[in-house]
Amino acid sequence: MVKIFILVGLLLLCIQGSSQTLGKDAISLNSCPGAINIFEDGDFQLQFTGKPSGDKAISSYPSLAEINSENYIWISFIAPAAGDLTFKASKKSGFMQMVIFEEEKKDICGEIENGIAEIKRLHVKKESTIVGLDYNVDGGVMYALSMQEGRKIQILFATDGDLKDKLYLQWRFVAGGNKEPESQVIDRRNDDFAPTFSVVVRDKETQQPIVASMSIEGNKSIVGMYIGSDFLFNLDRNGALTIKCDAEGYFLNDRKVSGLSTENQEVIVFLERVSTGRSMQIEEIEFVPGTSEITLSSEPKLRRLKDFLALNASLNIEIQGHVFAVGENSFAAQKMSKARAKRVMKYLIDNGIDKNRLTAFGYGNSRPIYADPKFFYEEQANRRVEVVVK
């Protein structure tokens, strides 16, 4: 069944559609309150107005500054059950940008306007006529969105400011989601009566198991590299352990834990999916004070970043430098932070990462984690390198 929507002035007519698909207010679909409600799967045709909406809803999100046209189409959807949302949105010319917001409480347009609705997916590059969600990621098509029953999202599509062409939308919601990922258990226990030290790797958003590469350092009885989602060990002694996890399509996660040999212990490692606009903070990259020279102790962490980029070869990133300094952001602080970001970038290029995938930017002390640090560890947290997926 094909549903066709044509915008005439502020009147939205539905042709060949048996279900109610208008927003709750019959106002322009290029504003958040005038969003089209989608209730069922189908193929739809929507029309951009080619006119600015006057909708300033997204102005509270600095990350959306690249969406400088107000030629919008808004869509609203409430999950009828737990499941996965996939769709393909395409047009014949120009570009397509996409933002997916999820409601926190009960007023999603108000939450977007106030900058508190969570951005679940983001594609702002002006280089593709196709955007969407799928289990296979490519270009403007991002990972399928897992939703719980009753959760509401608002999707913004944006294009060139004066285009009035059609948007073709293929919409699919899979109740129950895709086939539930299976656990892959690696059991290295040698004593059925001794306490079990277990490590499980899970998707941060869905809580589902992820088959990942995991290395353990610190206890000779279990040191090694393993591949699986659930790992079971016996420890021969108490002691500090370093756990490093990698999986394609996810940010790396390194953990330091105190392993116990005298009682059962479970460590959960959550991995976050890579998507446009998300960032990963790289801790333990240190510089010689007052310079951009990287200390030798930082090299293991730089190798981890290099491995992450090698594992996710399609990603382009921005390396962001941040420094700690008292007072307003100064030219010197910004210059130093950029020099440090460029030094990290040089390391990656020297170790085989394509320079065309990398950019470097220095923020000085304009984006501290702790605005008024009172402890040394808070100052250290403000001195950091972040990687943002572009």
Cα–Cα distance, 93 to 69 (Å, whole number): 15
What are the residue ranges of CATH 3.30.1330.60 in the chain? 279-389
Which fold would CATH assign to domain 2-175? Jelly Rolls (2.60.120)
Q: In this structure, what are the phi and psi dihedrals at residue 6, rounded to the nearest 5 degrees? A: -125, 130
Residues 6+ apart with CB under 8 A from 372: none
State which amino acid sits at residue 347.
Y
**Residue 294 C-beta-side C-alpha neighbours within 13 Å:** 24
State residue 329's pLDDT score: 66
State which amino acid sits at residue 168.
Y
**CATH architecture observed for domain 279-389:** 2-Layer Sandwich (3.30)
Tally Cβ neighbours within 10 Å of residue 173.
Answer: 21
State residue 330's pLDDT score: 76
Cα–Cα distance, 132 to 1 (Å, whole number): 20
Which fold would CATH assign to domain 185-271? Immunoglobulin-like (2.60.40)
What are the residue ranges of CATH 2.60.120.380 in the chain? 2-175
Instruction: Annotate 317-333 with b (16+ C-beta within 10 A) or e (fewer).
Output: bbbbbbbbbeeebeeeb
State which amino acid sits at residue 65.
A
State residue 282's pLDDT score: 79
Q: Which residues of the chain have pLDDT under 50?
A: 1-27
State residue 29's pLDDT score: 62
- Determine if the pTM surpasses 0.85: no
Give the chain's count of helices (H) and strands (E).
Answer: 4, 25
Cα–Cα distance, 144 to 178 (Å, whole number): 9
Cα–Cα distance, 188 to 224 (Å, whole number): 11
What are the residue ranges of CATH 2.60.40.2190 in the chain? 185-271
State residue 22's pLDDT score: 31
pLDDT tens, residue by residue, 319-376: 998 887 766 767 888 898 899 999 999 999 998 899 999 999 998 888 887 878 778 6
State residue 278's pLDDT score: 80
State residue 327's pLDDT score: 66
